[in-house]
Structure 1
Amino acid sequence: MALLGPRQVGKTTLAWEIARSRPAVYLDLESDADRAKLADPILYLYQHTDKLVVLDEIQRVPELFRTLRGVIDAARRDGRGNGRFLVLGSASIDLLRQSSESLAGRIRYLELAPLGAGEVGAARIDGLWLRGGFPQSLLATSDQASLRWRQDFIRTYLERDIPQLGPRIPAETLRRLWTMLAHQQGGLLNAAALARALAVDGKTVASYLDLLVDLLLVRRLRPWHANVRKRLVKSPKVYVRDSGLVHALLGIADMESLLAHPVAGASWEGMAIESLLAAAPSGTEAYFYRTAAGAEIDLLLQLPPRPRPWAIEIKRGLVPKVERGFHHACADVAPERRFVVYSGTERYPLAADIEAISLTDLCAELTAVSAA
């Protein structure tokens, strides 16, 4: 198994939670001492054939994938089962390519996203929204300490982590792109406008955006395409995936500043989308729906193996209202269920086939679908 995601406190803790039920050894490949243990990796790994071997920050030693393939195949021939290695690391393009080439049929991927609303509970929703889901940011002693952690994370990721993964992109250029995406949180992608602002060509912007998507820092939400005989929006919507990073990129330090900022609604929408997708069953596909005439659904979830999607409108506020465009869009798409997610806690019908529901309650409902 490989756990892939932005480097964060909590990943190592999760690794040990997984390993708690059996003997395990942990190697941090950022550590010179631990890397030295793998001077002869085959010898070291064969000394621990009866243990779970946790390899953290695998992107530092990508050549290990070839060794792991041989060790795994030898163990299979000897009748030993799966689950001998837990591989942790950033989702670099090179890492994914090498692991898929070397370990095809021998590896399962698990995306390790920041914490979502379904995990932190209703009492911490505001903190999750402001600070984001990275554990050290969310659990910091103050908003100022949380903001400093996120600013340091952004700087470290741009100046140290991304160059280690291979791409040679000026850190300041990537920061400007990331900041522009935060300003346009949840907006339709306009690659030409971004290219002009960065003074680069469209292909370069596309490659930069692909990198941020591959690193699980940005989400491209695809438009739903159906044969409805209407002009549909074809550009994806783009979100910086962690709301705390949105606010750090925009210099938003506290809840008062956030509530007064124009990005507040889009930021809350992005946080809700990430939380819902984290709770949804494996294999769920996410879309939005928008026509040229203004019919719109913020989030369509195609839950396997259901033939019709769930339609979700996202509203920040305590008095949710259903716009006419949502009704028209639902008439086009014919979803199985229809929800309006809002900031309150009560669940009640807004119309005969539409429910107002809290974010944590809908996360719980999606989790129940996953467990069914």
Structure 2
Amino acid sequence: MIPRKIKLRVESLLARAPSVVLTGPRQVGKTTLALEIASERGAAYLDLERPSDRARLADVDAYCERNADRLVVLDEIQRLPDLLEPLRGVIDRRRREGLRTGHFLFLGSASIDLLQQSGETLAGRVAYCEMQPLNVREVGEDNLDDLWHRGGFPESLLAGGDEQSFEWRFDFIQTYLERTIPALGPRIPAETLRRFWTMLAHNQGQTFNAAVLARSLGLSGVTVGRYLDLMVDLLLVRCLVSWRENMRRRLVKAPKTYLRDSGVCHALLGIGSLDALLGHPVVGGSWEGFVIENILSGLPPHASCGYYRTAGGAEIDLVLALGGGETWAVEIKRNTAPKVSRGFHSACEDLRPSRKLVVHPGRDPFPLGRDIEALPLPQICEELALR
């Protein structure tokens, strides 16, 4: 089992908050991590997809009283959202007794309803943590190409071969289309949503154009926007917003969209091997999305990000605001001998970032001139993790 960096974050939150919500897509490793924490702490663990475990909570107060001296882990909490109300009373009662932290760890496939309900019901009593697929800091730079090609879901990355990995991702996609999403309530034809998901894969790293996608799918722009919101909510798609701090220039305002796991993107496009990926038109967008997800997986909680593009062609792939007035401009290149465009220089003149960086697939850092640093992906990720 690959040790997960997020474990320290979860344990830190449990040490300062009465309850913690750990979100993430299915099969990302939430349950494995929770069982590890539960084993180390002697915690009680319930899977709310199992009727027998749900039955144990028929009398919530009595169950919590029996387990008052240990952490309680509730997996798939979105199955019983009404449970949050009585748990608030349990937390408040324990607070009055001087027990203020580490009562509950909730796991759930991310949903707006879950986050809203927990935020409203457990306001001031809950902290949030998002678990993402494996990243380069967890698997090491020697496995970088496999991580990019197969993606970061553990079952896909650790499969015995490319064919087994591809089959796992195909089944993952089918499960979301046929079971996970319908279980959340939206009545969306599976084939329509698959086509939408695949279109986003083809447009990896492009600005979102609802009108074009709507015409292709025979839907309204509003409906396509709703589909995008759903995929973002499920942590399957990232919308990278336009950086708006320079209002003197006419900026492109539409978000850029990325499938958050590169392996899922490749499976939707039928890309079954690294060689096939390197010859595919999506290779540049795929690498860009992969780099962005790895960088953002280690971003400090207080940081913010976006992309910068003006109507005149000035552009930065990723802008990071790290606090204290520190801003990094990050350009992403698949070439091991990268060159930056005039648009990057122009954008840097607009934003005047603290650092100008180019992320490349090689192993060594080197200067590019004009205060621009070329860094391998593992190095920038490590630098951010140490902040």
With the length of structure 2 as denominator, give the TM-score of the two structures. Answer: 0.92
2:386 to 328, 347, 368: 368
Q: Is the 8 A contact 2:76 2:109 kept in 1?
A: yes
Task: Map 1:1-372 onto structure 2 (within 5 A).
Answer: 1-227=20-246, 229-303=248-322, 305-369=323-387
Distance 1:142 1:191 in 2: 37
The residue type paired with residue 263 of structure 2 is: G
Q: Is the 8 A contact 2:246 2:350 kept in 1?
A: no
Map Cα deviations across residues 131-159 of structure 1 (whole Å, 9 max, x no partner).
11111111111111111111111111121
Deviation at 1:226, TM superposition (A): 3.2
Q: Is the 8 A contact 2:28 2:132 kept in 1?
A: no
Distance 1:213 1:311 in 2: 25
Q: CA RMSD in A?
A: 1.3
Map Cα deviations across residues 15-66 of structure 1 (whole Å, 9 max, x no partner).
1333354220111111122122122222112110111111111111111111
The residue type paired with residue 132 of structure 1 is: G
The percent of aligned pairs where both chains have the same amino acid is 60
The residue type paired with residue 167 of structure 1 is: P
Map Cα deviations across residues 176-221 of structure 1 (whole Å, 9 max, x no partner).
1111000000001100011111111111111111111111111111
Change (3 A) 1:317 1:79: same
The residue type paired with residue 169 of structure 2 is: R
Q: Which runs of 4+ in 1 moved over 4 A?
A: none
User: Partner of 1:309: helix, strand, or coil?
Assistant: strand
Distance 2:285 2:192 in 1: 24
Deviation at 1:129, TM superposition (A): 0.5
Distance 1:228 1:267 in 2: 30
Distance 1:58 1:272 in 2: 31
Distance 1:139 1:121 in 2: 13
Deviation at 1:91, TM superposition (A): 1.0
Q: Which residue of 1 aligns with 2:14?
A: none
Task: Using the TM superposition, name which of 69-78 and 180-189 deviates more.
Answer: 69-78
Q: Is the 8 A contact 2:366 2:373 kept in 1?
A: yes
Q: Is the 8 A contact 1:308 1:334 kept in 2?
A: no
User: Partner of 1:108: helix, strand, or coil?
Assistant: strand
Deviation at 1:308, TM superposition (A): 3.7
Distance 1:17 1:33 in 2: 22
User: Partner of 1:338: helix, strand, or coil?
Assistant: strand
Change (3 A) 1:9 1:334: closer
Deviation at 1:13, TM superposition (A): 2.0
Deviation at 1:346, TM superposition (A): 0.7
User: Partner of 2:241: helix, strand, or coil?
Assistant: strand
Q: Is the 8 A contact 1:117 1:272 kept in 2?
A: no
Q: Is the 8 A contact 1:94 1:165 kept in 2?
A: no
Distance 2:321 2:246 in 1: 16
User: Partner of 2:64: helix, strand, or coil?
Assistant: helix
With the length of structure 1 as denominator, give the TM-score of the two structures. Answer: 0.96
Distance 2:354 2:172 in 1: 41
Distance 2:196 2:305 in 1: 24
Q: How many residues align?
A: 368
5+ residue gaps, structure 1, are none
User: Partner of 1:174: helix, strand, or coil?
Assistant: helix
The residue type paired with residue 349 of structure 1 is: P
Deviation at 1:238, TM superposition (A): 0.7
